[in-house]
Amino acid sequence: MSILTGADQTSNSATVPEVIRVLLIDDQNLFRDGIANLLNSQAGIEVVACADTALAAVEAIRKLSPNIALMGWPASSVNSHKVFAAVQETKFHTRVIMLIDQELKEDFVEAVRQGCCGIDRKSVV
């Protein structure tokens, strides 16, 4: 099974690779739109939605079932808590990857506690 898409890859038949569906969550429009353009130019990746509020992110998770949610809010924020709760509530295979501005040990611990699958610095992306 693919860790990113949740698809079973044990079949020996030749299949077309599944597209990785991404939801971008960040309140900084320039950063979010730039990442969306970059990811959409990559084969096998489709940005299905962008969200700048917790409400928009939760709605997108429920309606679109993205494989990955790239989230640019600190794990300790109320908005992040709402997104993680929606992922757990829907029981979809959405993996949350945090994009952080600065390294705070408390944020790492909180992100993992909530179910985060990965953390990367925004400056690296």
CATH number at residue 25: 3.40.50.2300
In a domain, 38, yes or no: yes
How many distinct structural domains can be found in the chain?
1
What percentage of the chain reaches a pLDDT higher than 70?
82
| Residue 20 pLDDT exceeds 90 | yes
Q: What integer pLDDT is reported at residue 93 of this predicted model?
A: 82
- Owning domain of residue 52: 20-121
| Residue 51 pLDDT exceeds 90 | yes
Please compute the mean of the pLDDT values over residues 56-76 and round it to a whole number.
91
Token pair belonging to 7: 């698809």
Taking every pair of Cα atoms in the chain, the longest distance, rounded to a whole number of angstroms, is 45
Q: What integer pLDDT is reported at residue 103 of this predicted model?
A: 66
**Beta-carbon neighbour count of residue 38 at 10 Å?**
12
Q: What integer pLDDT is reported at residue 112 of this predicted model?
A: 83
> To the nearest whole number, what is the mean pLDDT of the chain?
83
In a domain, 8, yes or no: no
In a domain, 89, yes or no: yes
pTM assigned to the model? 0.79
